[in-house]
């Protein structure tokens, strides 16, 4: 199948789914927060962002943009499955910002008093990713109008990779597979969506369920198909500043950038949908 068809499939999805303690200060002064500038609000020092794996590329770009705007700032992006990151934060891992691939993991931290006032900044549906050489010869069903069901694309002899049930992309995958009557279809479960994407790119599976943003990140290295059931499991992405953030000024600046017009444009370019 040609790159043209992959792009056509993405186009169909767009139509249907558009959707881091320093020395003490002078007597009487409060000690500076680690990594934060003294005597001003200019972000500087180290900013640590814990972000869902699907945000790796766009958050890296936004972090570099913030570094360009604030030369004294070093942004560190730590990407993994949202549930694993939430667990690390609950165990005291130092971080300033958390961005999750679903609202459940953020609610878990808000309930624990670790994050206040998180804001949803993006949404992300799933697509079926296929190796570029398409070993199973997956084709769109002929003579049928509209977007196909997963059952039209996944056959019994295919090996299929999805995210583990503990992470947001795994929850979404289970929902769409069940809706399509294919709940027993997965052959392997991965820790995060980028691991699913890697298996597809390495031809280790015939197909995998990944986010639309991962299809964009893969560029022309895979084929991808939109499917009908994805509308029932579009994940919402919230971002928030940790209540004990070592560098709250920089954390606020990063969140403000994500929510800004420039941040939203970068997210749209990466395949994310705006919040509703």
**Residues placed in the known binding site for molybdate:** 54, 82, 193, 211
Residue numbering of the annotated binding site: 54, 82, 193, 211
Chain-centroid distance of CA 19 in Å reads 16
The C-alpha atoms of residue 241 and residue 254 are separated, in whole angstroms, by 9
Tracing tokens 């069901």 back to the chain, one arrives at 149
In angstroms, what CA-CA distances link 24 with 29, 42, 102, 154, 231? 8, 19, 40, 62, 54
Q: What is the DSSP letter of 71?
A: T
Three-state SS letters, 115-178? EEEEEEEEEECEEEEEECCCCCCCCCCCCCCCCCCHHHHCCCCCCEEEECCCCHHHHHHHHHHH
Tell how many helices (H) and how many strands (E) occur in the chain. 10, 10
Tracing tokens 């640590």 back to the chain, one arrives at 48
The C-alpha atoms of residue 136 and residue 119 are separated, in whole angstroms, by 41
The C-alpha atoms of residue 55 and residue 61 are separated, in whole angstroms, by 10
Q: What is the DSSP letter of 274?
A: P
Tracing tokens 């198909």 back to the chain, one arrives at 225
């Amino acid at each position: 199948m040609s790159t043209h068809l992959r792009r056509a499939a993405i186009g169909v999805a767009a139509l249907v789914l558009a959707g881091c303690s320093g020395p003490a200060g002078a007597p009487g002064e409060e000690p500076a927060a680690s990594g934060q500038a003294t005597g001003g609000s200019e972000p500087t020092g180290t900013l640590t962002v814990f972000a869902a794996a699907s945000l790796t590329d766009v958050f890296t770009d936004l972090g570099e943009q913030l570094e360009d705007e604030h030369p004294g700032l070093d942004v560190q992006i730590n990407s993994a499955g949202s549930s694993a990151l939430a667990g690390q934060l609950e165990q005291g891992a130092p971080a300033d910002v958390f961005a999750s691939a679903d609202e459940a993991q953020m609610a878990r931290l808000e309930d624990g008093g670790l994050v206040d006032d998180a804001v949803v900044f993006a949404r992300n549906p799933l697509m079926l990713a296929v190796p570029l050489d398409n070993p199973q010869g997956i084709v769109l069903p002929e003579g049928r109008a509209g977007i196909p069901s997963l059952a039209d694309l996944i056959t019994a002899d295919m090996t299929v990779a999805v995210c583990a049930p503990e992470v947001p992309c795994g929850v979404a995958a289970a929902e769409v597979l069940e809706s399509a009557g294919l709940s027993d279809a997965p052959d392997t479960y991965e820790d995060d969506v980028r691991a699913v994407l890697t298996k597809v790119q390495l031809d280790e599976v015939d197909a995998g369920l990944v986010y639309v943003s991962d299809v964009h990140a893969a560029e022309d290295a895979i084929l991808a198909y939109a499917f009908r059931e994805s509308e029932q499991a579009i994940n919402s992405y919230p971002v928030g500043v940790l209540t004990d953030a070592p560098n709250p000024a920089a954390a606020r600046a990063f969140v403000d950038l994500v929510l800004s017009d420039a941040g939203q444009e970068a997210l749209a370019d990466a395949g994310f949908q705006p919040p509703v």
